[in-house]
Structure 1
Amino acid sequence: MIKKSVFPLVLFISSLCYAQEFISDSLSSNAFLYNYFKTYLEPLQNQSDTIVEPSPFLTPLELPFFDDFSQSSSFPYPDGKKWKNRNVFINSTYPVSPINIGVATFDGLKENGLPYNNSTQTAWGIADYLTSLPIDLSVVLPNDSVYFTFYFQPQGLGNAPETKDSLVLEFYNATDSSWHWRWSAAGSSLKSFKQVHLYVDTLFYDSHFQFRFRNYATLSGNVDHWHLDHVYLNQGRTYNDTNFNDVAVMHISTSLLDKYYAMPWRHYKSDSSANMRSSTVMKIRNNSSVTQNVFYRFKINDETNTQQGIHPAAPGNFFIINPHQIYSLTLPILDNPFTFHFPAGNTNCHTYFPVYQYFHLGGGPDFSIRNDTSLYFQHFGNYYAYDDGSAEAAWGVQGAGTKVALEFTPEITDTLSGVDLYFNPYVTNTTNFIFRLTVWSSLIPEVKLYEENVVSYPQYGNINYFHRYHFSSPIVVNGTFYIGWSKISEDPLNVGFDYNLINNNKLWYNAGQGWTTSSFQGSAMVRPVFGSCNDVFVGEKNVETTNRKISVFPNPANDYINVVTSENEELFIQIFDATGKIVHAQSFKQYVSINVNHLHNGIMLLRITDNMGNVYATERIVIAK
């Protein structure tokens, strides 16, 4: 259902009568999924539904089956080598204390990030499916046993499923061609991840066994969240086989900057050391029943994949983590023995640095090595940001005449050219609501530095799901300023709100009784933009020479990359490394999946030509394993 909207009332005496700060986790869509689908998958609607990953397997999968969803964070759909559907959202921002990095999130949205049924807010029924590809259980001996294990969590940082909502597991019997209920859980508020361990009856020991999860939810929005993790099916197991010799990273590492999640590259370079955190934290969970020695390292490369810093300098440092313990490892950035700042030699107005946190175990096998590494891209562009780009909620202030401002203190005097805003509708369509962009040099007392002469309306962004509002004239700012809007209409106007990073002491609003900071912990998705430099985002399309449709995904890629075109003709692919060397070449028609395990990490250029040598398209890709 549409629920959890919190409204701390602010009463004041004026013609406005009432105004109120509000927050809601009952969102109507998933902007990231919507824009990813529109950019990469919608052009392929005339193609086979199975081309999210390599073409469908003609033979069933073999045991064991395992997925912990710790894939590249840039690809938000399930691994097509294991799963049939792409309804669920693969992410690392919704779960609370996950088993490992990455979960599959069930909600009320289709694969394109839009509701299954938006005709009424109370629409309810079956929403997402997550169905395995066929698995061969005919090889299991009658006296052997097969067990199925997974972890689940309701709500997380999202919206709590109600008691009538549920998450359901079913097994497929090829003999009678029907699905059989095996397990379910009723909706509830936030709980820790819980393990479920189930016996698979010999009834299902055939060559095309399948299992599927599905959820019952409100179908009109991004609500009723369930998070699934660490799905494991194998033979030779017992009732007590519930422990895994697995130690895992729990979250993607966050920004290494001290005050902001992102900042303009020119501003950072003005005092690189002063803008760095003194340390960062790597959260690791021991999912095993034994004490583990964990040997860790922390590495930072530049965009050419040249190493810029590593700690410890030589391998050998380790810590001890007890069974089923969560350990927060503090890694120094500006503290001895490791002192680092991003090198300021790059003269471009934007750049990025891959940041790796990784480890290996000191003894015994590691159940899953894929979840031993966290990869984060520290991006420097032309904007400041407190948020990490994920909107778990919507925040705003009701009432005509109310004002909202986010506080920033730039490192240098510079020209403010606009602002990126992420509007996320949560119940009503806000595209007709009116506001006026405003910049203040002070809030107490209130001093306006700039106010747009024309009114603005909420717009919904492109692949990066922010919309850029350009100011009619540039504004020179020196020192602390406040950027936001004055709301003209009475209707509630909300922006994306990131629960993962806490910066509400920088979020101000005035509902008629003076300026005050927000009482809700998180970060508003408001990003001031400086100068005329156009930002370039890794993974955004860069098709150059034709108007033909092409999709290259996932990007960044860690084990494969898919290339799909709309034309039924033979084409040729070349991949060049940073030195200009051709590291991969092949021909294809319409669709190809390229294994990139043999390629080094870093930026590469993918070029597609026709049989006459004419350039069909080029795109910059990132290999990040």
Structure 2
Amino acid sequence: MAIRFSHFRYRTMTLAFRLLLLTTGLLFGSFAQAQLLEMPIRMAEPSSQGQAMARGEASTLALPFWDDFSGWGSIPDTAKWQDSPNVYVNDGIAINPPSVKAATFDGVDVNGKSYSDDNLAYGPTDQLTSCPIDLATAAAVTYANATDQTNYRNSLYLSWYWQKQGNGEQPDAEDSLRLEFLDASGVWQSIWSVTGEVDVTEEEWQYETIQVPFALWHDQFQFRFTAYSRRTANFDSWHIDYVYMDVWRTENNSIIRDRTLVTAPGSIFGDYAALPRHHFDPEQDVSTVSTRLDNLSASNPFLFRLFATLTNDDTGEVVDELQDFTNFIGQEQISVAMAAPDGDSIISQLEKQDSALHLRLFVRLVSNDTLLESEDAVTGSVGYDTRNSLVANDTLSRQFSLDNYYAYDDGTAEYIAGMATVGGTVMYEYDIRESDTLTHIDAYFPAVKGNNETPTIQLLVLSALDDTEESILSTSTITLRAASAVNTFFRYPLPEPVVVEGPIYIGWRQQTNSFIGVGLDKSSDSGPRMYSNVRGDWVQNNLVIGNLMLRPVLDQVAQDTTVTALPDWEEEWFRVYPNPARNECYVEGNLKQVQVVDNMGRMIAIEPSKITPQRYRFDLSSLPRGMYYLRAVSMEGNLQTRKLILID
């Protein structure tokens, strides 16, 4: 079975060519030189932390086994998967997965490193391994009727969905994704594989079912998916989702009564995720938004209700109810449009706050899904598996800001986009609605593993891409600051404020052959606004899809003031320790508010205890292990976030 959806992306750059660009910095041909490159992103954590996230005691599981990867964190759930941190759980690289988020095999480890320095090395890269599963208990079940016994022993099936490429890179012909089962003697048996030659498009999802032979029903059974490819600088992508194994299934009964949200809602501000508050126009800036729903039991139409609520993320106050309607869904996936928010309601929230306004759109699907159904092997009665909730994939949220900057990106990077040659220039177009003063550039330059330089770049602001002196609004040489946490922006000041209006271009010129890239958000696409130049010709981007995490910061009150340094609040003005944490962590800083947020942007109802006026303690013992964020608001009203890892 294939799930087919339209998408507009095709990747033409070959692996060998990308390898040449990234490992040598040599460029051949003026067209190739001026093209943006992209590569996977992982936070540069210490290797010991990566190992800590990978391991923990692997408990033996009972049937059924189920995971749709919609829970917390960017690594697979360690309660279900063992030694698998190099597989990247995310909601931006796969295209329209069966439920929100998928597991991506992208050719780099949890620290963003290649698996080998040998360009000719070929072999296993990312691997997703289940915890041990007790099948001996299932094997001991007996039936008086021989036919029932035979049917039962032939009824254990593993199923999953897979996608080749998605929003990532296209696997080469010799690349493959493989499935293996562990037998009772501890030997991995090859069961299934697919190669990069398979004739499917980058947006199709393929459904697979594999019978688990009775001979493998032992008490330490495991299965694993492994990607095989070149082990250096290989960024080709495979995706896995909705893994399910249980008895009393057949090859054809793929039905799971689960209705899910698939993608986060689009932006209420149209092309933008953030606007300067004083540029917001309630007549033209609010936009209808849509989200996708999936019915994994397409032959079973169901009645659903969809709620969409826009709230003030700072106060919790409801701003507008965008949607509350009832409908039927019978097909596999549909796109549901929601009304535009009321612009006047947003204005009234702005009038209540002196600083930035952060809005959050919550979308909740009410489908009467509860827990995964499971049939008792002995009695045949159908019950519910309390370990596997089907409700987790029914809620999504997204934040939008009215602050002092423009942004196309949603604040989360799935990739890095940039160049790898001296003199290469990358520029990003913004249309400034009204005359204003540009004072800073916000940018997220993730650390690239293997590059130990502290690079400098020439930060540029241009009024036009015509290579004239008159078009240069600002230029300065800056040293990039290494991000201390994932998706952390730094605010780089311009030498002098610049009055701008209409189209402007912000970006950088490289001073090294090492790869320098900015975070790339895949939630939407502003690719045509990206330009690059190496030999004097500006080339409009037609390869990279997404949004650069590069933002112009505006300040109406700044006139002739020269900005020479970062204000104090733009430094790292709050601490989190220990991190990784187990059952508690401490936060220090002069803060107005600090909150725990999960990986889907949902606030966690945990109130900190105040130890001193600038020191707080969070009790985290009730939270599942994984990745979270601490979002803090300073006394001046500025916002910063820190990643928080919870380990066993």
Which TM-score tier does this pair reach, normalised by the shorter chain? 0.7 to 0.9
2:129–2:225 contact (8 Å) kept in structure 1: yes
2:274–2:406 contact (8 Å) kept in structure 1: yes
**3-state SS of 2:66 partner:** strand
Spell out the pairing of 1:96-107 with structure 2 (5 A cutoff): 96-107=95-106
Residue 65 of structure 1 aligns with which residue?
65
Separation (CA, whole Å) in 2 of partners of 1:199 and 1:348: 61
Deviation at 1:206, TM superposition (A): 2.4
Deviation at 1:23, TM superposition (A): 3.5
Aligned length: 549
Residue 55 of structure 2 aligns with which residue?
50
Residue 255 of structure 1 aligns with which residue?
267
- The answer on 1:523 being equivalent to 2:547 is yes
The 1:620/1:126 distance shift into structure 2, 3 A limit, reads closer
**3-state SS of 2:622 partner:** strand
The residue identity in structure 2 corresponding to 1:529 is: V
- The answer on 1:378 being equivalent to 2:400 is yes
The 1:6/1:411 distance shift into structure 2, 3 A limit, reads farther
Spell out the pairing of 1:543-622 with structure 2 (5 A cutoff): 543=575, 551=581, 556-557=597-598, 575=608, 593-595=621-623
Deviation at 1:253, TM superposition (A): 2.2
The residue identity in structure 1 corresponding to 2:227 is: N
What percent identity do the matched residue pairs reach?
A: 24
**3-state SS of 2:405 partner:** coil
Deviation at 1:310, TM superposition (A): 4.8
The residue identity in structure 2 corresponding to 1:332 is: A
Bigger helix share: 2
1:422–1:526 contact (8 Å) kept in structure 2: no
The 1:49/1:5 distance shift into structure 2, 3 A limit, reads closer
The residue identity in structure 2 corresponding to 1:329 is: V
1:575–1:604 contact (8 Å) kept in structure 2: no
> Given the alignment, which residue of 116, 128, 131 partners 1:130?
128
Deviation at 1:619, TM superposition (A): 8.8
TM-score (ref. length: structure 2) = 0.72
- The answer on 1:406 being equivalent to 2:408 is no
Residue 152 of structure 1 aligns with which residue?
162
Stretch of structure 1 that moved more, 228-237 or 386-395:
386-395
2:182–2:189 contact (8 Å) kept in structure 1: yes
Q: Provide, for residues 392-429 of structure 1, a one-character-per-residue CA deviation record: whole Å limited to 9, x for no partner.
A: 46355978486735333155623412342537869x96
Spell out the pairing of 1:346-385 with structure 2 (5 A cutoff): 347=353, 349-350=355-356, 352-361=358-367, 368-379=390-401, 382-385=404-407
**3-state SS of 2:393 partner:** helix
Residue 172 of structure 1 aligns with which residue?
182
The residue identity in structure 2 corresponding to 1:99 is: P
> Given the alignment, which residue of 198, 203, 217 partners 2:215?
203
Separation (CA, whole Å) in 2 of partners of 1:259 and 1:3: 35
The 1:530/1:210 distance shift into structure 2, 3 A limit, reads same
Stretch of structure 1 that moved more, 391-400 or 277-286:
391-400
**3-state SS of 1:594 partner:** coil
Separation (CA, whole Å) in 2 of partners of 1:462 and 1:92: 22
> Given the alignment, which residue of 495, 503, 511 partners 1:472?
495
The 1:461/1:399 distance shift into structure 2, 3 A limit, reads same
Deviation at 1:68, TM superposition (A): 0.4
The 1:534/1:456 distance shift into structure 2, 3 A limit, reads closer
2:629–2:643 contact (8 Å) kept in structure 1: no
Deviation at 1:306, TM superposition (A): 2.0
Stretch of structure 1 that moved more, 400-409 or 96-105:
400-409
Residue 568 of structure 1 aligns with which residue?
none
Residue 24 of structure 1 aligns with which residue?
37
The residue identity in structure 2 corresponding to 1:293 is: L
The 1:275/1:152 distance shift into structure 2, 3 A limit, reads same
Spell out the pairing of 1:205-224 with structure 2 (5 A cutoff): 205-221=217-233, 223-224=235-236
**3-state SS of 2:43 partner:** helix
- The answer on 1:416 being equivalent to 2:439 is yes
The 1:43/1:103 distance shift into structure 2, 3 A limit, reads closer
The 1:347/1:277 distance shift into structure 2, 3 A limit, reads closer
The 1:347/1:452 distance shift into structure 2, 3 A limit, reads same
Stretch of structure 1 that moved more, 444-453 or 229-238:
444-453
2:280–2:402 contact (8 Å) kept in structure 1: no
Separation (CA, whole Å) in 2 of partners of 1:6 and 1:381: 40
- The answer on 1:298 being equivalent to 2:326 is no
Separation (CA, whole Å) in 2 of partners of 1:272 and 1:282: 24
- The answer on 1:186 being equivalent to 2:195 is yes
Residue 589 of structure 1 aligns with which residue?
none
Q: Provide, for residues 41-70 of structure 1, a one-character-per-residue CA deviation record: whole Å limited to 9, x for no partner.
A: 85586x68535xxxx365x22221110011
Separation (CA, whole Å) in 2 of partners of 1:34 and 1:488: 24
Residue 350 of structure 2 aligns with which residue?
344
RMSD of aligned residue pairs (Cα, Å) = 4.5
**3-state SS of 1:409 partner:** strand
Separation (CA, whole Å) in 2 of partners of 1:17 and 1:196: 44
**3-state SS of 1:353 partner:** strand
Separation (CA, whole Å) in 2 of partners of 1:506 and 1:48: 38
TM-score (ref. length: structure 1) = 0.74
The 1:207/1:434 distance shift into structure 2, 3 A limit, reads closer
**3-state SS of 2:277 partner:** helix
Stretch of structure 1 that moved more, 62-71 or 485-494:
485-494
Deviation at 1:112, TM superposition (A): 1.6
Separation (CA, whole Å) in 1 of partners of 2:370 and 2:70: 21
